Each structure stands twice: as structure tokens, then as C-alpha cells.
Structure 1
Amino acid sequence: MNVREAESADYPALADLQGAVWPDHATTGDLLAHEDRELRDHPRRPHLWRVVAEEGGQVVGTAYAIQYPGMFHPGRYHVDVFVHPGAQGRGVGRALAGRLDGHLRERGARELLSGTREDCPRGLAFLDKQGFSEVMRFFDNVLALDEFNPAPWGDAARLPAPYRQVTLAGLLSEVGEEAAWQAYFDAVEEIREDVPCTGEATPLAFEHFRKRGEDPRFMPEGVYFALTPAGEVAAMTELYTDGVDPAKLHTGLTGARRAHRRRGLALALKLAALNFARGRGTTSIWTGNATTNAPMLALNTRLGFRPRPAWIEMRRGAVEDV
């Protein structure tokens, strides 16, 4: 077995490995490369490091350490170790974890976040031995669109006055690039503050936020807003493509700004997005929900989303609040 730092030529193998370990979250080499470029271009200059394990010239495992800009602290790293199912039990994970620990000691890491699914006892035992403990759980919530009936929702699908519905694509046409993206950014910046996460949210950078339009999975026509008469985004929901499965869509951020809550705005926009998805031949919509996010879990359950096995977020060490 050979453990070495990852190279750009490894992206296709890394994508194959992710698909083998987590089939529900398969990706492509091009998407992984795009995500890494976006991370390296971020103004916070977050750290990104990967190694791969090879056997017979084939990539059978990988480990990484990443500092995500949205929850940034110089001493906090998200880490993971993937081992191909066919190569498990041969010490690959231990070798990768050893390289990872050495790298993080050199970096002076103080808090590590990792995780696995609740139905993966090998992964849970591995993280436990590495000193990690549970801090939060998330669900993949999935809606099969052939089981969704929009008829009972009736008036709930219409925004109350004085709000009007518009997509990002429509808003770009109405007010232009700068104003549309600024309105989008302002809403995301506020709504995300109330989304449960394992660390404090750090401020977004507007110029980097605009780069999400370059993501091949991004759909301006799938981003729905409830707009006030003054042109402020009061609520929103996002749909983006899967990148691998053309019949699958994902929900991004959904919510209302604090001054506009409890008016049915998020529900109306979700229903509009579901109608859009049905019209394009989508068979399933996936979203992620923290188990502590009771309002969003309740809304998605009402719509017919059903949870998959929970993802258990785990932590080792801690950093002080920023």
C-alpha cells in the first residue's frame, strides 16, 4: 500500500471512491475539481489537503482535511477517511488516519469535525476509537414526486399579499445582475444564521457568493423568492441539480427572514418549486435537515419527505467562540 498526497489526475478516482462509499451522494471528478477550486479561491484562504491510498496502482482510500469558509475558525477542520468497501479491514483506514493526524498536528488543529451514517457500525467504531463524540444529527429527507399530490394544498400554494413570487432568473431579467444578486445575498446572509450547525456561522463574502452561479448544478430558474413591494427578498427556497442523476434534484437553503415569518411564505415557495420539479421530469427531491430544526422537519414531513438513516456529526477537541 502506498499513501501519497492527491493530485489533480486523481479526481476521477476520488469520485468513483465516493460513489462506492456513499452511493446516494455520488459525484464526478469535474465536480470535485470545481469544488476544490472554489474553496482555494475563497478570500478566507481556507486549508485543503488530501491524501490517497493505492494498492496495485488503484486508489482504494482517501483522507482529507478542509476548513469550510461558512463555519471558519483557524483551528477548526472538517476531516474524513474513505475506504473502498472492497478494501476495508486491511489497515487502509488506519494508515490514512495516521497521515491525517500527523498533518493536523503540524497545523496546530484544535477542533476536528467528522461523521458517518447511523447504519455504518464500522465507521462509528472507527471514529469512536479516534476520540470523536456525537454533537448533532442530520437527515437526508427524500420526496418521491410520483407520490406527491399538490391538489390538497390549494391556497397554500399562493403567496399572500403584498408578496409576489419570482425566480432568480426572473429577477435577473427585471433588475439586472448586481441588484438581483445583492437581494439574493442579503436574504441568504440572514436566513442561514438560524440554520442549526455544529459551529458558529461566519459572514459570507459577496463576491465569492456570486460565484455559485458558475457551479454546473446551479439553476437560476430553480431559486424561488417571495419579494416585497420594495424589492426585498422576504423568503426563498433553492433547487439545484444532482450532477450525476438527471432525475434527482436537491433543495438548498429554504426559509423566511425574521420579519416575514409565520406567513406561509416558505411553504408557498416550496410548493412552487415542487411543481417546477414535476414539470421537468424529476423523480425525487433530496434535502438535508438537522434533527434539531423542528420547523423545517415538520414542513418537509407535511409535504411527504421521508428521512433516510441519520448522518451523525462528531467532534474531537474544541475552539473558543470567535
Structure 2
Amino acid sequence: MTVIVRDLRPDVPADVEGFARVRHLALPFMLSTPRSVVHGVTRAHPDAHHRALVAERDGEIIGTAQVGLAHESPEPGQGYVNVYVHPERLRHGAGSLLVRTAEEHLAALGATRLFTWVLDAPADRAFAERHGYRASRSAHFLRLDLADGALPPLADPPAGAELRTAADFAADPRPMFELDAEATSDEPSDIDHELTDYEAWLEGTWHGPLLDLDLTSVVVVDGRPVAFSAAHTDGGTRYGSAMTGTARAFRGRGLAKLAKNDSLHRARAAGYREAYTGNDAGNGPMLAINRWFGYEICATEVRHARELG
């Protein structure tokens, strides 16, 4: 009946499947598959010192944690600790043991401030507060019924623009990297991110098993991508918007909405039945776009932080 915490073994199918299962049960609004779990562990940037931890009880994986340093931030010493426990295996001490193991790992690396996402529910928030974490910003998960819901009609691109897919940039993804880096740098967050390592982006993002290049829509002007909506799929019926953004010089023209609508229509035609996305609660423009599509908020997370002294 004892709970132990150890590192995930990415070459052991039972470990990988158990990790993905717990993540899905605890956070069904985010796509996670065994392949994406393995990719996240084996392809993480060395500077992140990433660890995937599992809490095991009587041979069953009942909790998970993703732990590491925010190596893409210009501010050093920031770490992340995201813990999820099987909803039917709570109150066995798995969450607390995962947090303690994660904090010891990050403290040894010199981390001074830790961030975690916690579902906006009384028990989850109380758990974070008991461990010394204090609430900051919040973010919403949103769901869209692709199978039976009504999408806005498709629109033609404005003059001088065309709709393409990320697959059209497979031979040279660097323009997509540059657009992603610009859009990511303007995303609301407690941690600033600077995407500067093209090879790491190729490894971690472009070649990620969830990214569907054929369903990722891109608005192109003069051969250059200026807006996009990145599509994640689980290989079954679930679709997720991983990132939607526009180059600064082209904002305010509805291009992100155009790309996302194109991607959603093609995802529905491909047989995907549910679409998920997430937005910072303060990102009014993107929340308005998603409401226009018919998305509805299905859950909220609250970012919590703890100072290590």
C-alpha cells in the first residue's frame, strides 16, 4: 500500500501508457498520447533538466509530474512543477510525494522560483496553498463540438494573401519557426519565453507526434507565413489548437481567425469530433475569437508560484 515516486521509464510500455492515462483522466482537456509522452521525455532540451515522474502504488501508476527549468526564459532560476493524480486515487499521498521530489530536484539545480498550474477547484487550490504556492493568473480550457456544432462559413483570404498548410513548409520550416517565435514572445505568461534555438524547436515542436502539419493552417503573403493555427491531434477523434498567432505587422486584419477557421473545417472533414483550446483569462481578443467559433469554457486553471529560499 506504500506509494513510491520514481522516474518514468520511456522504454517500458506500461509506464508510458499509465502516464498518459493519468494525464487524460486528470486533465481531459489537453491531448496526451503514449507517443507524445515518450517524445516529451526523450527529446527535452538538456538545459531544461526535464524529468517525468510517476507515483506508483501496488504496481499501478496513480500520479504524474512534469518537472524542469524554464530554459527558454531570459530570467534564470525559474522552474515548473505540474502534478496530476488519478481522480479515483486521491488522498494516498501521491501528490505530496511528487511535489517534494520535484522541488528537491529543482532546488539542487539552483531554481529560486517554481510555477505550477492547478485546476480552479477548492481541493486543488487548497493543496497548492498547503505546499506554499500562491495564486497568480488564470487560464481557461475551451471545448467545441466539431461533430454536431456549427462552424462559421469559410471565407476567402484577402487580396495578396493565400491559405496553405504547414506541410507546405516541410522542406524548410525556418519561416514557421520565426513566426512561432514572434507570436510566442507576445503570449501572456508569468514566464517570458524567447524561442531562439531553431534545432531545439525542430526537435521539440515541429517533429512532435501531436502536431498535424496537414491540418495546421497558414496564411501566406508574398511567400512568407504571417499567421497560423497549429493543430494537434491524438490520432482518434480529438483535435487541439496548440498555438494561433499572427506576425506583429499583420495583426488586426482577421488573419488568425481565417487560419483557425480553415483548420477547424478541415479537421471536421477529417473526422475529428471534439476541438479543445486554451487561453489566458486576460487574453480578451483570443477569447472573443474562440467564442465566435462556438467554443465554451469547460474548465479553468490557476497559475501558482512558490519562492524557494
* TM-score, structure 2 normalization: 0.88
Aligned counterpart in structure 2 of residue 273 of structure 1, from 263, 275, 286: 263
**CA positional deviation for 1:30:** 3.0
Cα distance between partner residues in 2 of 1:28 and 1:83: 17
Q: Which residue does the alignment assign to 1:202?
A: 194
Aligned counterpart in structure 2 of residue 292 of structure 1, from 282, 289, 295: 282
Q: Structure 1's 200 and 11: CA in aligned 2 closer, same or farther, altered over 3 A?
A: same
Which one-letter code corresponds to 2:145 in the other structure? A
Task: Return 5+ residue gaps in structure 2 as ranges.
Answer: none
Percent identity at matched positions?
26
Which one-letter code corresponds to 1:114 in the other structure? T
Q: Structure 1's 148 and 13: CA in aligned 2 closer, same or farther, altered over 3 A?
A: same
3-state SS of the aligned residue for 1:222?
A: coil
Q: Which residue does the alignment assign to 2:54?
A: 52
Cα distance between partner residues in 2 of 1:51 and 1:182: 33
**CA positional deviation for 1:61:** 2.8
3-state SS of the aligned residue for 1:20?
A: helix
Cα distance between partner residues in 1 of 2:301 and 2:104: 26
Q: How does 1:171-320 map to 2 (within 5 A)?
A: 171-172=169-170, 177-178=171-172, 181-211=173-203, 212-229=205-222, 231-243=223-235, 246-317=236-307
Alignment check: 8 A CA contact 2:107 2:308 kept: no
Which one-letter code corresponds to 2:39 in the other structure? H
Cα distance between partner residues in 1 of 2:195 and 2:76: 15
Larger Cα-atom Rg: 1
Q: Which residue does the alignment assign to 1:28?
A: 33
Cα distance between partner residues in 1 of 2:282 and 2:196: 23
- Structure in which a larger fraction of residues adopt helix: 1
**CA positional deviation for 1:251:** 0.9
Alignment check: 8 A CA contact 2:116 2:305 kept: yes
**CA positional deviation for 1:310:** 0.8
Cα distance between partner residues in 1 of 2:181 and 2:308: 25
Alignment check: 8 A CA contact 2:73 2:192 kept: yes
Superposed CA RMSD in Å reads 2.3
Q: Which residue does the alignment assign to 2:107?
A: 105
Which one-letter code corresponds to 1:214 in the other structure? H
Query: Which deviates more, 55-64 or 283-292?
Result: 55-64
Q: Structure 1's 255 and 97: CA in aligned 2 closer, same or farther, altered over 3 A?
A: closer
**CA positional deviation for 1:92:** 3.0
Alignment check: 8 A CA contact 2:41 2:52 kept: no
Query: Which deviates more, 136-145 or 84-93?
Result: 84-93
Alignment check: 8 A CA contact 2:144 2:294 kept: yes
Cα distance between partner residues in 2 of 1:272 and 1:28: 25
Which one-letter code corresponds to 2:17 in the other structure? P
Alignment check: 8 A CA contact 2:163 2:219 kept: yes
Q: Which residue does the alignment assign to 2:17?
A: 12
Alignment check: 8 A CA contact 2:211 2:230 kept: no
Q: Which residue does the alignment assign to 1:135?
A: 136
Q: Structure 1's 67 and 108: CA in aligned 2 closer, same or farther, altered over 3 A?
A: closer
**CA positional deviation for 1:2:** 4.4
Alignment check: 8 A CA contact 2:111 2:308 kept: no
3-state SS of the aligned residue for 1:101?
A: helix
Task: Return 5+ residue gaps in structure 1 as ranges.
Answer: none
Q: Deviations over 1:236-282 (max 9, x none)?
A: 11112125xx1111112212211111112112212211221121122
Q: Which residue does the alignment assign to 1:83?
A: 85
Cα distance between partner residues in 2 of 1:57 and 1:219: 34
Cα distance between partner residues in 1 of 2:308 and 2:195: 20
Which one-letter code corresponds to 1:276 in the other structure? R
3-state SS of the aligned residue for 1:281?
A: coil
Alignment check: 8 A CA contact 2:5 2:98 kept: no
3-state SS of the aligned residue for 2:189?
A: coil
Alignment check: 8 A CA contact 2:113 2:306 kept: yes
Alignment check: 8 A CA contact 2:65 2:83 kept: yes
**CA positional deviation for 1:182:** 1.6
Residue 27 of structure 2 is aligned to residue 37 of structure 1: no
